[in-house]
Amino acid sequence: MNNQFDYLYKLVVVGAQKTGKTYFINKFRQTEYTQYRATISVEFYMKQINVSLQDKEYKVELKICDTSGLERFKAITTAYLREATGILLFCNVNDQSSFEKCNVYLKKIKDCCSENVKVMLIGNSFSSGRVVQTDELVQFAEQNNIMYTEINEQNITEKCDAIVQRLTQSILWQSLEEAQKRNKQSENFAWIHSYFDLDE
Q: How far apart are CA 142 and CA 136, in angstroms?
A: 10
109 in any annotated domain:
yes
For strands 147-152 and 7-15, give the pairing: unpaired
181 in any annotated domain:
yes
Give the angle subtended at the CA of 8 by the CAs of 7 and 9, to the nearest 5°. Answer: 120
CB atoms within 10 A of CB 146: 18
Split into its structural domains, the chain has a count of 1
What pLDDT, on a 0 to 100 scale, did the predictor assign at position 74?
62
Q: How far apart are CA 45 and CA 128, in angstroms?
A: 32
What residue numbers bound the domain in which 106 lies?
7-196
**CATH number of the domain residue 170 falls in:** 3.40.50.300
2 in any annotated domain:
no
166 in any annotated domain:
yes
70 in any annotated domain:
yes
What pLDDT, on a 0 to 100 scale, did the predictor assign at position 191?
46
Q: What does each of the 200 residues of the chain score in pLDDT, given as a tens digit?
A: 446 999 999 999 999 988 999 899 999 988 544 444 444 457 889 999 999 988 899 999 999 998 865 554 466 667 788 889 999 999 999 999 999 999 999 999 999 999 999 999 999 998 778 999 999 999 999 999 999 999 998 899 889 999 999 999 999 999 999 888 877 755 555 544 554 454 55
1 in any annotated domain:
no
What pLDDT, on a 0 to 100 scale, did the predictor assign at position 38?
47
159 in any annotated domain:
yes
117 and 86 Cβ atoms separated by less than 8 Å: yes
Helix H or strand E encompassing 51: strand 42-53
